[in-house]
Amino acid sequence: MKFRLPLKVKLSLLITGLVVLAVLLVSASLLRKQAQTLTDAVTKRGLTIAANLAGGAKSALVSNDDLTLNILVKEAMHDKDVAYVIFADEDGVVRAHSNVSMIGKRLTRPASLAVPTDRAVIQTYRPEDGEAEIIDFATPLAFSKTPVGTLYIGFSKLAVTHAVTEARQQAIYVTAFMIVLGVAGAVTLATVLSRPIFRLVEATQLIAGGNLAVQIPVTTHDELGVLTASFNRMVRSLREKEMIKRAFTRYVAREVVEEVLKDPEHLMLSGERREATVVFCDIRGFTAISERLSPEQVVSLLNEFYTTAIETTFRYDGTLDKFLGDAVMCVFGAPIAHPDHTARAVKTAIDMRTALTELSKARSMRGLDPFEVGIGVALGEVVAGTVGTEERMEYTVIGDSVNVAARLQGHAKPGSILLSRRTYEAVHDMVEALSRGPLKVKGKEEEVEVYEVLGFRR
């Protein structure tokens, strides 16, 4: 099982990381700048002190006035940042030193320090026994352009180190505070940013569960708001499509609806010629029956009749073409071209007769008027497609077989199923039928040979 890190956590970590990185970079830059500023200040102060000491020491070195040199050293050492002050003559002998034990000795300097020439040299080093670095100022001394010695002043960077350390501690506190603040802000921001996404995820799950009544409020005007609005439009489109599908399933089986919706333009919008089988089923003597019934009872009778006829039609993936008062017209082979559409149509007719006979018996047991039906089935070429206007369209089939099926139904006796010759030839190995001879059908010049279905072959 893969570990899934929530989006809110990812955003929080990302934002927190960026905040921490930014604070650390800013703090490091400020600390480096502060250290450089303090070092520059110490260097400037060291140059000033060195210049003042050099001005008073030149004549003292020339006149061998060691007392004046030591007084100058003592005064310079009053500055707490001064680590040492040394006056050495041209031969490198110490004439005055902050450590009086070094006076009169040859001066020895750390090997890492360069030997001064005719210019002042500023160098930084860390003494072996020192806790802080030393900024060393080596200033050549000359009297009337004649070299007389060298002044060495060492400034400790301990104060700079302490100041930087203190600033670093303050920076750590500020960084910690900024991190806490950043985490809180990151979590809040991540929550705000991810909330619309979570709503989209929840809505998607609801849609996957079949709930198309989802509507997400658009709370922002950014890209997430645009995405949410687009999602709502998509849901409305799916809802409308589902409504169309539900409406369509009142006329054809759901399997047929699914197949039609895969390619609606090809199957529905353009008419096309195809072989189809048409079934007409009509209640016999409906006018006389309706005269004995109240309007509510008539509607109840028709609804029972329609329900049974439609359920039987859908069982064999047929299409309910239309209601015709007390009759229904069903089509097999359109819009889905089943190879065995004629067999499906005849099976539907036989099952429909059986089911409606049972319904009639049930009505009689309830003290209601029974009824019988006549059914006509015809196979032939039709034009299948949508007809009508842009405002109102209807899917139907048009052709000679429609007229023949209607006429056969009209001539069918109560409880009988009549087939055209071509229809019978397509299913003769499946059903038993009796020839009723040729029949003159209105609208056709030639007579139609008719067969009455007895039942399925055993």
Give, for all 458 residues of the chain, the pLDDT tens digit: 455 666 667 777 777 778 778 878 888 888 788 778 877 887 888 888 888 888 888 888 888 888 888 888 898 888 888 888 998 888 888 889 888 888 888 888 888 888 777 788 888 888 877 677 888 888 888 887 888 888 899 888 877 777 777 877 887 787 788 778 877 777 777 777 777 777 777 778 877 777 777 777 877 777 777 777 887 888 888 777 777 667 666 655 555 566 666 665 555 545 788 899 999 999 998 988 999 999 999 999 999 999 999 999 989 989 888 888 899 999 999 888 889 999 999 999 999 999 999 999 999 999 888 999 999 999 999 998 777 776 666 778 899 999 999 999 999 999 999 999 999 999 999 999 999 989 887 777 788 899 999 999 87
Amino acid sitting at position 234: M
Per the listing, tokens 């989006």 go with 7
Amino acid sitting at position 46: G
Cα-flanking dihedrals φ and ψ of residue 265, to 5°? -65, -45
Q: With a threshold of 0.85, does the pTM exceed it?
A: no
Q: How many CB atoms lie within 10 A of CB 311?
A: 13
- Distance (Å, whole) CA 327 – CA 282: 4
- Distance (Å, whole) CA 231 – CA 252: 30
Beta pairing class for 319-324 and 327-332: antiparallel
Cα-flanking dihedrals φ and ψ of residue 226, to 5°? -65, -40
Amino acid sitting at position 452: E
Whole-number Cα distances in Å, 28 to 31, 169, 391: 5, 12, 73
Contact 23, 176 (CB under 8 A): no
Question: Two tokens at 319?
Answer: 């299409």
Judged by DSSP in three states, 209 sits in coil
Report pLDDT for 79: 84
What is the helix, strand, coil percentage profile of the chain, to 5?
50, 25, 25
The string of DSSP letters for 256-275 reads HHHHHHHSHIIIIIS-EEEE
Whole-number Cα distances in Å, 225 to 120, 198, 218: 69, 13, 6
Report pLDDT for 27: 80
